[in-house]
Amino acid sequence: MKICRFEDDGRIGVGIVEADGSIMPADADDLATALRAGHHPSRANGATALTGARMRAPIRNPGKIICAGVNYASHQKENPSAVLPSEPFFFSKLPSAVIGPDEDIVMPELTTELDYEVELAVVIGQRARNLSAAEALQAVFGYTIVNDVSARDIQFRDNQITLGKGADTFCPMGPVIVTADEITDPQSLVLSSYVNGERRQHESASGMLFSVAELLANLSRYITLEPGDVVTTGTPAGVGCFMQPPGLLHPGDLITLEITGIGALNNPVTAPAARDAG
């Protein structure tokens, strides 16, 4: 099942994407709230399919966004300063950074080195602590795409990861969440990114150093995972800052991220709006 968050004629709600692309409203107003209440949305009784609704971020208010860093050998190889971790490395992005499909990534005036990262993201469906790798995937509600947008000059300045990766609009997410029953092996998925149609990243999730299950098991040793939390799983080689010459982002660029079985997430890059005079 593909779960989305939609906007239609001023109404925002949770929906189920049908095979023909239409959206059937679900029996929940907010996905994170529903998951925290132990409810997995289904088609609402008597609902009529929507054909012109706009997709929004599928989960707008995640409790936590926890990201795995340096989790592909290929990404470590292209980054001369990175070392292979002996156990998963995590950092956080801020829920206020979340935007949805087709929304603008706003390039802050404070950076000249804006970058993209395609990542498979996990949406947690049940409270979990001290998971084993064998049972970790049972805590997963579904999977989506996240763009770990990064201001490299800020990120690499005194290791300012939170500021470099947590700015407003730096967490595009979507277009849908595919429920876990439809993705039995997340390591079989293929991730790709494109800038203005040029493919930059393309690798199977089997290239992860730590699998999705291993990441969740390790993380749950330290942090209780709650329904509605989002955990990202790292990015493969091909990010802009390590290209020769660098392939960083600029206003006017269009970023497209794709993961097999989930879909495509498109976001344009824009400059910040001019400040109001006075």
DSSP string, 20-45: TS-EEEBS-S-HHHHHHTT----BPT
User: Cα separation of 31 and 274, whole Å?
Assistant: 34
Q: Where are the domains of the chain?
A: 2-56, 65-270
138: three-class secondary structure by DSSP: helix
Q: Is pTM beyond 0.75 here? A: yes
Residues (pLDDT < 50) of the chain are 275-278
| Superfamily covering domain 65-270 | Fumarylacetoacetase-like, C-terminal domain (3.90.850.10)
pLDDT of residue 80: 73
User: Cα separation of 259 and 247, whole Å?
Assistant: 21
pLDDT of residue 274: 56
